[in-house]
Structure 1
């Protein structure tokens, strides 16, 4: 009996250890505040980022080469932020300068590994390429023709933006780059004086007459599983629930999950994430109905332990929210087959034993009736 108990105990310990090792922790939203000045009024812009959206970018490729500069530009994820900034701008030029005010407020620090805009906003630090990716993302969100300007000799980057006419508010000689028949006005993204920082069309003296490479955004990120929520003022908290009908499902069968967003303004979509071995993958989105409810159908194709969670990006009134994590064990079809076969074998074995025991008294009686 002792030898049989050991493997059973080992299996139980293994399952418990798996739960503790791979159960993710729940985190609060990341928030940052920036100030914008349009010449008359100072605005306070609050950004909120869900941990799930941050994790999405942490898991992406961070190797930076000249051929993939554009992949760090993420206009969709900053779409709400760009829309809010555009709403207070007086012109296209003014919008660009307001965008520069945002990146000029992020503390400068040399970063060894390239960062996506969401990561830079969360960490609240970055260098020239990090700031350029944010500015380019915000401008691209509003359909501006923007490029990255790379100064290899100076190990520096800023952006160039096309305008229908030269900038009127530049305080220096207007700087630009002509590329493929289009004129791009320089916009320097570094600097810690957000109220009096660089404006579009102005060029730092150290970059004058420096060779520059124009990098177009052909490979920018087209879509993301979520967005940064933003508002002028504070964002109200929201919550999202997730209901999973069972923690065990057979491989290849459909698991239907649902939940609800608690906010008074039900707008947007919810993204479903599946986690396995400390990595998360978005597997689809669902629209919210008028009551803020959503439904997903998921068909797991491989056995193992998974975690499910959903995320809502929020809007201009509510910060986004992540649901709780729920563990689901997907049982491989082979396990079901083997278990079924073992069950049948067990039933047959029990029947044989019962039949054998039933026949034993008859054999004994026959032996007793035989004369010596």
Structure 2
């Protein structure tokens, strides 16, 4: 909401009580647009915004004299009595020079309603989504809906006045809800269920600052606070149609809140499992490093064993040749015995070394097999823990997907509702 800037002349008028006739007129006259006829031609704005599973484009043009006049100081003069009662909102919404603009928007959205076979509730959502798509920007002075449309920006009361004007002209019982304590304004749409905001006479909140569901009361300000006070209800028109899909919104928002809580719980569990898995992966890496070290030692011992056996076999070949030489009288018996003893000693030494290498190999093999059994058992535990982690992440992601759908597509209420009712219970 904005601060209302009173003209300095008002103070003078209040002092000059002698000018009673003009003073009374000033107190009771309505704010309205004084067209600036020095501007000719038209100004236009085009909007494309999402709705359901598609998008809608609207084109609006207004006389430049109306737009420029709305921005002039004279058009923004608000009588003192109107400020006290906030009645000026009604005058700003319903200035007759804006009727052409309202009609253009409603003609185009009514065509969408017919071609898309929208229900009355969906038509409320279509108009709301159009206004919610307008970028939120705060200005000090209040602005007429025609300014909001052409400028393509507005704050809470700018956008709410525009939406209230559209809804009432479309036949809906809509009002402006002004939360003076929170300096916030929104639209109220008549409903007959429990979604109505307290002490409003049965009107549900319809936020305009950004995409949101009709009846959603969970609007929060930047500092984290929410709406608490009783709003001033300001009539915007004479429509009679009500919004009836509040029960679906209640189900959607209840699922959103429970999903958010469950996602937080699953996230904490996932984080804990992640830490556990990281520790287990470090242990597995250590197991694998130790196993590789033992395998290398086994290979070394086996290589040494094979080398000793090869050398022992070479000695055996020499012994056979020595036997052959002795049998063919190439050497004497004394020579034979001397050489045989040398070869026998060498072979014994080699076979002893081979036995030691083999013993070392089998010892490492036993150690390897024991460690590998531990590794397999630990890896099985890791696999089970990882399966639990994956299941938790999968469950978390499913709820995250639904949660993201809920918070990102309030303009697709029926689809979101069907997704919620067909999703896992929380």
TM-score by length of 2: 0.39
Question: Whose radius of gyration is greater, 1 or 2?
Answer: 2
The structure with the greater share of residues assigned to strand is 1
TM-score by length of 1: 0.44
The structure with the greater share of residues assigned to helix is 2
Kindly indicate whether structure 1 or structure 2 has the higher relative contact order, using CA contacts under 8 Å at least 6 residues apart: 1
